[in-house]
């Protein structure tokens, strides 16, 4: 069996076992690495005065990780710059927040070359190479420039934008052309895949085959839909475990008889948190008789704090939650509990289980794993209701959620009423259909789907074909 080389911006230390803080992606990739052998390569998260290419190897739980330190300037231009000030907002349809700086371009190119230089000697001729996400789009091409012949795959965890939007990126063509260095390119949804195909045919003049092949400039690659899932079995078990029960009890005791509406998101503008608070406020306004029967818990650990937009959105949410609480709270009730920290996964599972409503309303999201975690944590006899944005990739699979347009405060308010008054048999029926998908298309299924395509032995490994 070929070894697997996983390359991503950051590397998950293999030491925290399931039940700890590892998310589904890390669990699946570590499991694949354990089974096939190989290395997970990426940035250590540390800085160095001058880039040396020194690799720090670590072993744990049957997996080897290899990390490099980057210079401060690299992090400014590549990570905080091109990745998170240019590509992230643009790919999430936020052209108003997108910054175009040539220094970001050159920093992004430089760090991708540095990744290629340092990882190359670690790779053996038969190894399969799997590159992850928007930080590293040109890496495949950089490896090919160095004479690399291995099979290389790329998976994008965020949306792929429509053609007209992508064209506002000054170097859009170069970026897309570089994807043709890979053998397989994967997206979460049919939507993102369609936008990619559209660009290739309309802008590059490429052609499409019947089985996911995309050809341009004499090179044919496989473009597939591979929706990521979660470690469903483990998460369901965690929701029934001791830590989850304890968290659930804490929630019940702190709000006897009130229905919990929960939101769990990285603090990011793509997650639609301000719109969510406003939708909830609309519900409070329009339903005075229901006010004191509910409360909302929004968990939002800060991320990317060096990027201004993230500081602004944090300040905005502080003030919005403060204003709503000031206006509607009573001596024994606050409408929004707003918590800016992370929790261990079993505790999250308990909180989801305690919640009558999971409010997952991103303005745009590649997939959104919180929606799937919420479903996996529910009590089969008395499940809660998932309210889900139509613009989350997860909406393509989770059709029996209450789907809404997150920009509409009215739709959100109506959906909350619908969820609060939904009869138990309807909740069970919807949940059974959701959990069926979350169990079937879990993160191990996703990993195998992509790796089958990458191995090239099941070239028609499109999700559809497997269903």
Instruction: Check if 242 is active-site.
Output: no
- Tell which residue, 264, 252, 261, has the closest CA to residue 281: 261
Structure-token pair, residue 328: 């509607």
b/e sequence 195-222, b meaning 16+ C-beta within 10 Å? bbbbbbeebbebeeeeebebebeeeebb
Please state the separation of Cα 258 from the chain's center in Å: 31
Catalytic residue among 127, 183, 243, 365: 365
Catalytic residue among 105, 157, 188, 265: 157
Question: Is there a contact between 30 and 18 (Cβ–Cβ < 8 Å)?
Answer: no
- Report which DSSP code applies to 298: E
State in angstroms the smallest separation of the CB of 438 from ligand ADQ: 13
Q: CB-wise, 221 or 447, nearer to ligand ADQ? A: 447
Q: Give me the residues that bind ligand ADQ (CB under 6 A), please.
A: 23, 25, 157-158, 228, 264, 266, 299, 301, 342-343, 348, 365-370, 373
State in angstroms the smallest separation of the CB of 272 from ligand ADQ: 12
* Separation of alpha carbons 212 and 222, rounded Å: 5
Length of the chain: 467
Task: Kindly list the distances between the CA atom of residue 125 and the CA atoms of 37, 89, 281, 305, in Å, as whole numbers in the listed order.
Answer: 14, 37, 58, 40
Q: CB-wise, 19 or 342, nearer to ligand ADQ? A: 342
Q: CB-wise, 123 or 136, nearer to ligand ADQ? A: 136
Question: Is there a contact between 376 and 235 (Cβ–Cβ < 8 Å)?
Answer: yes
State in angstroms the smallest separation of the CB of 369 from ligand ADQ: 4
Instruction: Check if 365 is active-site.
Output: yes
Helices (H), 124-271: 139-145, 163-166, 172-178, 190-199, 232-239, 242-254
Q: CB-wise, 373 or 400, nearer to ligand ADQ? A: 373
- Helix (H) or strand (E) holding 418, with range, is helix 409-420
State in angstroms the smallest separation of the CB of 420 from ligand ADQ: 24
Q: CB-wise, 12 or 368, nearer to ligand ADQ? A: 368
State in angstroms the smallest separation of the CB of 227 from ligand ADQ: 9
Structure-token pair, residue 32: 């694949």
State in angstroms the smallest separation of the CB of 287 from ligand ADQ: 28
Q: CB-wise, 185 or 370, nearer to ligand ADQ? A: 370
Residues annotated as part of the active site: 157, 365
């Amino acid at each position: 069996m070929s070894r697997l080389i996983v390359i991503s911006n950051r590397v998950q230390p293999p030491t925290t076992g399931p039940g700890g803080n590892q998310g589904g992606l890390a669990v699946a990739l570590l499991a694949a690495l354990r089974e096939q052998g190989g290395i997970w390569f990426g940035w250590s998260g540390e800085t160095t005065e001058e880039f040396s290419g020194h690799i720090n190897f670590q072993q744990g739980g049957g997996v080897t990780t290899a990390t490099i330190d980057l210079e401060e300037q690299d992090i400014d231009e590549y990570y905080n710059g091109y990745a998170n000030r240019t590509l992230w907002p643009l790919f999430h349809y936020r052209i108003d927040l997108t910054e175009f700086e040539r220094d970001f371009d050159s920093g992004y190119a430089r760090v991708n070359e540095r990744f290629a230089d340092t990882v190359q000697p670690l790779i053996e001729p038969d190894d399969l190479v799997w590159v992850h996400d928007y930080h590293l789009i040109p890496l495949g091409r950089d490896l090919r420039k160095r004479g690399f012949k291995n099979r290389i795959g790329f998976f994008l965890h965020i949306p792929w934008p429509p053609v007209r939007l992508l064209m506002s990126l000054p170097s859009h063509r170069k970026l897309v052309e570089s994807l043709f260095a890979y053998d397989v390119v994967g997206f979460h949804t049919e939507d993102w895949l369609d936008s990619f195909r559209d660009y290739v045919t309309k802008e590059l003049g490429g052609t499409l085959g019947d089985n996911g092949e995309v050809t341009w400039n004499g090179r044919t690659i496989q473009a597939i839909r591979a929706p990521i899932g979660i470690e469903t079995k483990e998460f369901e078990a965690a929701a029934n475990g001791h830590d989850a029960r304890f968290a659930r009890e804490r929630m019940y005791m702190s709000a006897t008889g009130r229905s919990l509406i929960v939101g769990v998101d990285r603090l990011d503008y793509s997650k639609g948190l301000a719109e969510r608070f406003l939708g909830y406020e609309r519900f409070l306004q329009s339903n005075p008789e229901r006010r004191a029967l509910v409360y909302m818990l929004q968990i939002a650990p800060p991320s990317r704090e060096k990027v201004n937009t993230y500081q602004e959105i944090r300040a905005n949410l502080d003030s919005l939650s403060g204003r709503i609480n000031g206006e509607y709270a009573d001596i024994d009730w606050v409408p929004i509990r707003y918590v800016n920290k992370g929790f261990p996964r079993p505790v999250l599972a308990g909180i989801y289980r305690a919640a009558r409503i999971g409010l997952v309303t991103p303005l745009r999201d590649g997939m959104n794993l919180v929606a799937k975690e919420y479903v996996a944590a529910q009590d089969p006899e008395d499940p809660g209701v998932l309210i889900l944005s139509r613009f989350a990739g997860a909406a393509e699979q989770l059709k029996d959620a209450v789907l809404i347009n997150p920009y509409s405060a009215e739709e959100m308010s109506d959906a909350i009423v619908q969820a609060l008054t939904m009869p138990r048999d309807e909740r069970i029926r919807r949940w059974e259909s959701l959990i069926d998908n979350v169990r079937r298309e879990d993160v191990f299924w996703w990993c195998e789907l992509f790796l089958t395509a990458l191995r090239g032995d099941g070239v028609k490994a499109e999700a559809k074909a497997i269903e």
